[in-house]
Chains A and B, each alone.
Chain A
């Protein structure tokens, strides 16, 4: 019995050094790490059930950088954040047009991975557009 106590005390002591746990930002940090330092090319879009393909042609692309900045093929530059709001994961982009006009774009993240991403663009009316990106 003495030996069992010795073993248990030794085990408990060593477990004190093992501590990292989920925080409120774990999920957004993981999604952010999948987005950053990559250029995402739009391959498909689906609007009201109609699929449009951009594969093999010049297409829209967007680059998310690790410092929180963003630039895309339309000339928009600015900053972005990945946020979890009411259980929905979103990308909030605060950008300026080439003329310097501010613009906010919000995407719902349907799925994000190392090489494939599906976003849903919020619109004021009608069904949202689903956007399918890959990085090459």
Chain B
């Protein structure tokens, strides 16, 4: 998993270029672009969240029992916002979105410490596992050549997004400069567009701290959501 993350981070730009090239070839063939591809939508999603915390940089002499803070599961959250779907002059599909996310994350700690002979299995840090973020995402959409493209459209989606914590960070989470607010994510997913009336989507987001932190954190999220055109609502 660590190797995959390193490869993903190192070659992110290269992968983006590859997909952009593929997308431009794909877009050239999609000459019958439908103008319902453009427009503002509102969306809502259910999310499953997990964070991996590495407290290697904590120097404060604090102990939290590992069994009471470690919870390596995906917990449910939700997000909502609005997005703009567009088609560029080169017939490339894209979307820009803005969301508020309520994240409730299972937390897995990579390090377990022992202080012989009396303290066993503890961590030096306790991460906030519930917080609210604002996110901005820019996604490149690749139209997939499947049947009935006049009615239904399938897209592969990828692109970066940025999350910024707006909820109060607990004092435990601020220890030793660990209270980073900004996360950058790489998003990958699929979307189903039903004649421009609504779209269903599934995204995976892999995120990490933007700046160096004494507690590097990796955020894993799955989103299942739906968007509806604003003009159909109002």
A interface residues with partner B (beta carbon < 8 Å): 3-4, 7-8, 10-11, 14-15, 17-18, 20-22, 26-27, 29-31, 33-34, 43-44, 46, 51, 87, 89, 109-116, 118, 132
Contacts and interface: CB of A to CB of B under 8 A. Distances in A.
Q: Chain B: interface residue count, which band?
A: 20 to 34
B118 A112 contact: no
Helix, strand, loop or mixed for chain A's interface?
A: mixed
A111 B174 contact: no
B62 A44 contact: no
B122 interface: yes
Contact of A26 (B96, B115, B168, B171): B171
Contacts, number: 90
12 contacts: A3-B84, A4-B96, A7-B84, A7-B97, A11-B98, A30-B175, A43-B118, A46-B117, A51-B117, A89-B61, A111-B61, A118-B119
A81 to B, nearest CB: 16
A26 B58 CA distance: 13
A22 B86 CA distance: 41
B98 to A, nearest CB: 5
Contact of B134 (A3, A14, A33, A34): A14
Contacts of A4: 96, 138
A113 B65 contact: yes
Interface of B: 59-65, 84, 86, 96-98, 115, 117-119, 122, 134, 136, 138, 164-169, 171-172, 174-177, 179, 181
Nearest to A8: B136
B115 A30 contact: no
A21 B166 contact: no
Given A18-B167, A21-B174, A33-B171, A116 B63 contact: yes
